[in-house]
Amino acid sequence: MEPEEQEKRAGPPAEINKVFVVLNPVAGVNNRDTIRDSVEKFCAEKRWDFDIHETKKDEDLHRVMKKALKDGVDLVIAAGGDGTVAGVVSGIAQSSVPLGILPAGTGNALARDLGIPITADAALELIGGEHDVKTMDAIQIGKDYYALNVSIGISAEIMEKTAREEKRRFGFLAYLWRGLQTLTRSRLHRFSVEVDDRKVQFRASEVMIANEKLMGLQPRIDGVEVSAEDGRLDAFIVRAQSLRDYLGVFTRFVRRSQPAYDSNLRYLPIREKIVIHTLKPVPVQADGEAIGVTPVEIRVVPQAIRVIVPPSSEPKENRS
């Protein structure tokens, strides 16, 4: 199936009767009662039968979502940050149930990448109004699925060290502050990697595996375009050790004119899976949440998620 055939115009589907809402009461800096009141009012106006589930610390959201699907729902809404969305995605991946995102976290990276409104009322209007449904690939680790990225190394350390209270008080600045502290202690790790049918070894400070653009940015590497609709994952191997090195790598995502080669950045495509081993355990994060340490096996799952996004500007008669 071609990428342009994977998005279909859909107003509020007539078959929506039952909606399952996952609300993270401590996500970001939003007021839990305000978000809940908005969701309840909106669902009532749409005459949708709805159930709001508030997440709890250390809860197995994957299991919660599987039960919701078994009970029968027509739409799932995730009200929270990228971690909440990841937990919901993990439970509904490879199902036909569409996901509506109500951004309420610190970064809301997936919502921003997909052009989903950041304010609650606007996001709800999109879910209940004219929209497209985008079919996305997913990242699988064990029984869990993720939509954005997985990283091994310094960014995982940063996310592991940034406390929830810091994120609530300072938002994205909390990550920036922890990042500056961690960069001063950056070091190279020994990696042994099996990617599809080849083996490679290298030293790096970070391995970033992307399914979607990195904070909305595309790398300036010839022939590389990160997309969640291409049936592959994109691995970026970073050897940067100093703030200057990292700034150099960052410019490859924001400046059009770049040298053909950068010793601090290497690229590997992943068609099926990648297995990552390190000499010593290294932190791993997925979609903004610390999930453990190496070794880790990561698989590509094509067309696994259906997400509600803003309608395309392309004329309807030109769309399938």
Q: What is the pLDDT of residues 156-172, one digit of tens each?
A: 777 665 556 555 554 55
| Residue 81: CATH number of its domain | 3.40.50.10330
User: What is the residue type of 145?
Assistant: Y
DSSP tag of 116? -
- Residue 307: HSE in the Cβ half-sphere, 13 Å Cα cutoff: 29
**One domain, residues 100 and 61:** yes
Report which of 124, 118, 21 is spatially closest to residue 65, judged by C-alpha positions.
Answer: 21
CA 25 to centroid of chain Cα atoms: 20
**One domain, residues 75 and 160:** no
At a CB cut-off of 8 Å and minimum separation 6, what does 95 contact? 69
**One domain, residues 102 and 165:** no
**One domain, residues 128 and 259:** no
Query: What pLDDT is attached to residue 274?
Result: 98
**One domain, residues 22 and 82:** yes
pLDDT mean values, one per 10 residues, the chain (320 residues): 43 73 81 90 95 92 93 95 92 96 88 92 95 96 94 80 56 52 72 95 93 74 86 91 69 59 83 97 91 97 97 53
In what helix (H) or strand (E) does residue 144 lie, and over which residues does it extend? Answer: strand 144-146
**How many Å apart are CA 250 and CA 252, to the nearest integer?**
5
In a domain, 143, yes or no: no
**One domain, residues 87 and 205:** no
Q: What is the pLDDT of residues 193-202, one digit of tens each?
A: 999 989 999 9
Domain that holds residue 153: 149-301
In a domain, 142, yes or no: no
**One domain, residues 107 and 192:** no
Residue 272 contacts residue 196 (beta carbons within 8 Å): yes
In a domain, 157, yes or no: yes
**One domain, residues 168 and 196:** yes
Kindly report the pTM of this predicted structure.
0.82
Sequence-ordered alpha helix ranges (H) in 184-319: 243-251
In a domain, 45, yes or no: yes
In a domain, 78, yes or no: yes
In a domain, 144, yes or no: no
Query: What pLDDT is attached to residue 168?
Result: 56
**One domain, residues 45 and 89:** yes
In a domain, 141, yes or no: no
**One domain, residues 128 and 251:** no
Per the structure, how many domains does the chain have? 2
**One domain, residues 264 and 213:** yes
**One domain, residues 154 and 173:** yes
In a domain, 15, yes or no: yes
Backbone angles phi, psi at 299, to 5 degrees: -120, 150
| Residue 171: CATH number of its domain | 2.60.200.40
Q: Name the E strands within 179-238.
A: 189-195, 198-204, 206-210, 233-238
Sequence-ordered alpha helix ranges (H) in the chain: 32-45, 61-71, 82-92, 109-114, 120-128, 154-161, 164-170, 172-183, 243-251
